[in-house]
Amino acid sequence: MSYTIKSNTYLIEIGDLEDSSFQDFMEQKYVNSRKIIVVDENTNEYCLEYLLTSFDFLKEAEIILIPEGEDSKVLDLCAQIWDTWTDYHIERKDVVINLGGGIVSDVGGFAASIYKRGIDFINVPTTLLAMVDASIGGKTGVDLGKFKNQLGVFTDPQRVFVDLAFLQTLPVGEVYNGFAEMLKHGLIVNAKHWEELSVLNEVEQEITIEHIYTSLSIKNGIILEDPFESGLRKKLNFGHTIGHALEGHFAEKDPISHGYAVALGVLAESFISFKKNFITLSELNDIERVLLSNYECIDLSGENLNEIYQLMLNDKKNVQQKILCVLLIGIGECVIDQEISEQEIVESLEYLNRLHQEEKNAHEN
């Protein structure tokens, strides 16, 4: 089974990499180009060999190995990559293959977009999150201190190849990180997708190529309408205003993953949607049930909630210092650019903490 989705300037192929157009595409377009493969420690260990042994034309590829984790999403690391490419005499006609999760595609894509005013790159995502989200859409970039994705550019990959075989070595927790973005896709525009994902018990075993294709199609459909996030694309930020702030808040002391932060953000922003009477209590309860059956809620009792709120003041989606957020107006429907107040944000964080306490009490009884 395989699928092809047409994005803005490139194709997304979903299916077995060896049966895809990967080889033909590379041999036609990049016959005289040097190939650079960007990997992190884990994709170097678990994914690279498959690529190198399956495709002869990658025999001479230069490998750029970056440390795993969000700490790699910094400008310093890009500067090291650019120095290495300069030492290797990498030219404009050469091509980068990002083999990894969202960190590799964000960093590798950003480094490629800037180097010599831009060299081509291809994404071969190896995490669920990168397969359904980070590998498409053209956003590349790095963090600046506590602020996520503060530096970046929009540059499309030349092609994206999604092969579910890479998920075999992915830790289960990482599968749930990607699943949070898939649930978000359903909640914002496609109630049927939400319902289909809601009934999965063991996501790592039950996720199918069709689920991944649907999520990718949803994201791609939104991007096609608004590639540079001047309007509709903001829908994809549902769960990310509060999610990013939580991720930034915990970054230095006890980091939480992006996907988990999004799951918490989805809960908190659904709560605000309910408080504003945009969704019903039964819709909020449905979201709560599904999210809490897949994710533990976070303990915020010892945290300064105002500090988390302060982080949102620097969110890229804000206008004139107002915090603007995507809110649900039903399951499968949302509205963008909704102003949310400090009080609503703090109450939503208290709500997360309450859910955590309830979970804890239930475990103890």
Residues with a catalytic annotation lie at: 117, 139, 181, 219, 229, 233, 237, 240, 244, 258
Distance CA(109)–CA(280), nearest Å, equals: 41
- Beta strand 11-14 with 120-125 is unpaired
Our finding on whether 137 is near ligand NAD (CB under 6 A) is: yes
Our finding on whether 294 is near ligand NAD (CB under 6 A) is: no
Distance CA(108)–CA(85), nearest Å, equals: 12
Our finding on whether 38 is near ligand NAD (CB under 6 A) is: no
- For the bound state, the minimum distance from the C-beta of residue 235 to ligand NAD, rounded and expressed in Å, comes to 13
Our finding on whether 156 is near ligand NAD (CB under 6 A) is: no
Distance CA(90)–CA(33), nearest Å, equals: 9
Give the three-class secondary structure for 141: strand
Amino acid identity, residue 363? H
CB-based contact 121:158 (threshold 8 Å): yes
Give the three-class secondary structure for 301: coil
Please name the residue that has the structure tokens 């030349």. Answer: 158
- For the bound state, the minimum distance from the C-beta of residue 140 to ligand NAD, rounded and expressed in Å, comes to 6
CA distances from 234 to 185, 301, 318 (A): 12, 31, 11
Our finding on whether 102 is near ligand NAD (CB under 6 A) is: yes
User: Which DSSP state fits 28?
Assistant: H
Our finding on whether 133 is near ligand NAD (CB under 6 A) is: yes
Our finding on whether 68 is near ligand NAD (CB under 6 A) is: yes
CB-based contact 274:324 (threshold 8 Å): no
Our finding on whether 139 is near ligand NAD (CB under 6 A) is: yes
Nearer to ligand NAD, 23 or 169 (CB): 169
- For the bound state, the minimum distance from the C-beta of residue 65 to ligand NAD, rounded and expressed in Å, comes to 11
Q: Which of 12, 13, 20, 43 binds ligand NAD (CB under 6 A)?
A: 43
Count of residues that interact with ligand NAD, criterion CB under 6 A: 32
Instruction: Provide the binding-site residues for ligand NAD, judged by CB under 6 A.
Output: 40, 42-43, 46-47, 68-70, 73, 100-104, 106, 126-127, 129-130, 133-134, 137, 139, 148-149, 166, 169-170, 174, 177, 258-259
